[in-house]
Every structure is written in structure tokens, then in C-alpha cells.
Structure 1
Amino acid sequence: MLNHLSTFGILTDSEVNQVKQYLTSRTIQKGEYLITEGKVCQEIAYVENGTLRSFYTKDNGEEVTYCITFAGNFTTAYSSYITGEKTPESIQALSHAELLILKKRDIETMAANSTNWVKLLKFLAEQQYVEMEKRIFSYQKESANERYLELVKNHPDYIQNIPLQYLASYLGITPRHLSRIRKELSL
């Protein structure tokens, strides 16, 4: 995580090292939750190992996976984290996951003492917006085949470890349709 923070070129080495005092490790097993619907999110997790999915549940009980977070990335119930309101989403481990946790209060303490932290938080928020926009555009402009191929291209090591129903939901298609795509593409 410290190396990841350094790659942005915003924090000084001292500021990156300061993070160590606030980090806690957490391990969650496959099927366990980082956060569940109805809770208020007070932390950000960096995924060292494992894969997590973010999803919400429709009124009819159907779960819709809208985000898959792989190792080397941050995850949080972002709207809840920002607003302090209960989250409508859950974040669940798709595999054994090792996380590094930063509490919101500690991030706010670092931001209060360094404009670089404010710049980093702004940058990360902007990146989240850009990713969300790309995802929306991909649903509107690309076929399910194209979305699947993009996922295979970017995360070939993980793609086989995501259960079919979650992968299909993430792609906005049925498991049956995903099976057809895989067969057609021979992947």
C-alpha cells in the first residue's frame, strides 16, 4: 500500500511513512463482508491479496454486482464514507482477502495536517469518478462481449476465480448469456 501511495507522486516520503501508524490489518474469508447494507462506512480498505465484490440488493432480492476490486486497489462504500449515511451496498470477499484498513478519522487527521493529503484525496475522488463514468459509457456503448474481453484483458489471472453469477451480474447479463459468450470466444 505504501508503494501504491508513492506512485501518485503527491505525498512526501515522510507523509507516506506516517500512514504506517494508522494502518491495521484485517483478513476476511471468502463469503465474509467488509461492510453490509445499512451500516455507516468509516474506513477505506486497501486490498493486498484477494478479490472483493460490491453489490446492492434489489427489492425482489436479486443481488447486482456493480464493482469487483482486485489486489492492489482501494475499496470502500464511498457514498456512505463521504456522507456518513447508511450504505445501500455490501462489500463481500470472493476469495480469502488480506486488507490494510485506514479509518476515516485518521485520514481526516492526516488531511488536517497536510495539504498533500487533501490533494491526494481529491485525486483519488476524481479517479473514482472517471472509473464510474467509463463503466457507464461501457454499458451504453459496448456489447457484453466487448465488456467481457476487456475484463479478461485487464485481469486474466482473476477472471476464472469469480463465480459465474457475480461475473455475469457485473457485466450486466445473465449467467446463461455469459456462458454463451465464453463458448463463442473459446475462453
Structure 2
Amino acid sequence: MIEQYLQSFDLFSDEEINQLVQLFEVRHLNKNDIFINEGKISNEVAFVIDGLFRSFYISEGGKDITYCFRFPNQFIAAYSSFITGNPSVENIQAITKAQILVIKKEVIQKLSIHSLKWTTFLKIVAEQQYLELENRIFQLQRDSASNRYKSLMENQPTYIQKLPLQYLASFLGITQRHLSRIRSEVSF
């Protein structure tokens, strides 16, 4: 899986990809296991082989707010903590049993020092993260909850049914009751 993902960037030779893959550590997580806790410094990035993840924070009022989902063939990290070295303001949790490939920050730093290709790859991934964040902001400000749900259905139809309703409702910024209404109205 990660091999195909890396090949899609047309940056690395097959030999370079094989060398890169060897630098990742396989990790298995159970449902509800935490990849990163709020308040901890993130020093690793993971590629999701199998499983679903959510990023969430606890509001001042103590409410659990899901703001991001991650699916297979995507990277997960507390990026702001990873970049700045400051404690994470988010939690990343497996919401199903999961298998990930983990790489440490110091390994990534060494790679970027020795390889312009790796630096280019990191730049592209950072740009993708920015665009995803911008899209999320625009969706929240511009689109209705129904349209945000439809977008998620279009982009992740295989996985959306596996997302617990309370996390999906939180992600959409609505109640579970409102989500049930939207689900009954929207059919694919």
C-alpha cells in the first residue's frame, strides 16, 4: 500500500521506495487506542495501512469535538506539534482496529538533509495538508451539514458506514438526531 502511495508522486525509484519502507515500524492498534495524546509532543508520523482514525479535542466546556477523520492510504500526525515541537492540542484515536507504519521525526529529518526528493515529497504532503484544511474551513463556513455529509459519502463511501454516529455528528457540527434525519434523506 505505502509503496503505491509513494510511487504516485513520481519522485522515487523502486529501490528508493524499498529503502524508505524499511525505515517504517509496523504498529497495531486496537479500537479506541490513542496514537497521540493532547499535551504530548508528536515525534512521529504514521501511514494508515488498515483502520480508521479520528482527530479530536476537548472543548473548554468538556465536550469531545471530532474535527478530522483519517482513512487507509493516508498519513496521520499531530502536525502542528510535529513541526513546532510544542505539546499537541489534539488527540488521535483509532476508531477501529488498525495497522499503521510509523516513522520517527529524526529519521525524516535525516532523509530530508540527504535527499532533495524527500524534501520535495515533504513539501507536497504539507501542501496537501494545507489544502485539506482550507477545504474543511470553507465547508464549515459555506456548506450545509447535509452537503458536508454528501461530500464525505462521495469521497469515502467504503468507510463512512463504519464511523460511529457520535463522531460523525461531531465532525459535521450537528446532533446525532439531525444526522439521522440527513442520512434518511440522502441516499447513494
> TM-score per shorter chain, which class?
over 0.9
Deviations 1:21-41 (A, max 9, x none): 311000000011101111000
Q: Equivalent residue for 2:13?
A: 12
Q: Distance in 1 between matches of 2:187 and 2:118?
A: 46
Deviation readout 1:93-147 (Å, 9 max, x if unpaired): 0100000001111111111111111111011101100010011111111111111
Residue 30, structure 1, aligned to residue 31, structure 2: yes
Cα distance in structure 2, aligned partners of 1:138 and 1:51: 22
5 Å-filtered alignment, 1:3-152, equals: 3-152=4-153
1:51 alignment partner AA:
L
Q: Quick one: which amino acid aligns to residue 158 of structure 2?
A: D
Could you say what the CA RMSD is over the residues aligned between the two structures, in angstroms?
A: 1.1
Q: Counterpart of 1:171 in structure 2: which amino acid?
A: L
Partners of 2:20 and 2:104 lie apart in 1 by: 11
Distance 2:28 2:88 in 1: 22
TM-score scaled by length of structure 2: 0.96
Identity %: 47
Q: Distance in 1 between matches of 2:64 and 2:16?
A: 39
The TM-score normalised by the length of structure 1 is 0.96
SS of the aligned residue for 1:22 comes to coil
Give the partner amino acid of 1:155: Q
Q: Mean alpha-carbon deviation: is it higher for 41-50 or for 14-23?
A: 14-23
Measure the CA separation in 2 of the matches of 1:125 and 1:20.
Answer: 20
Contact 1:41 1:80 in 2 (8 A): yes
Runs of 4+ aligned residues of structure 1 deviating over 4 Å after TM superposition are: none
Letter in 1 for 2:52: T
Contact 1:33 1:93 in 2 (8 A): yes
| Amino acid paired to 1:183 | S
Contact 1:11 / 1:120 at 8 angstroms: preserved in 2?
Answer: no
Match of 2:170, SS state, is helix
Residue identity opposite 2:25 in structure 1:
T
In the alignment, structure 1 segments of 5+ residues that lack a partner are none
The amino acid across from 2:44 in the alignment is: E
**Number of aligned positions between the proteins:** 187
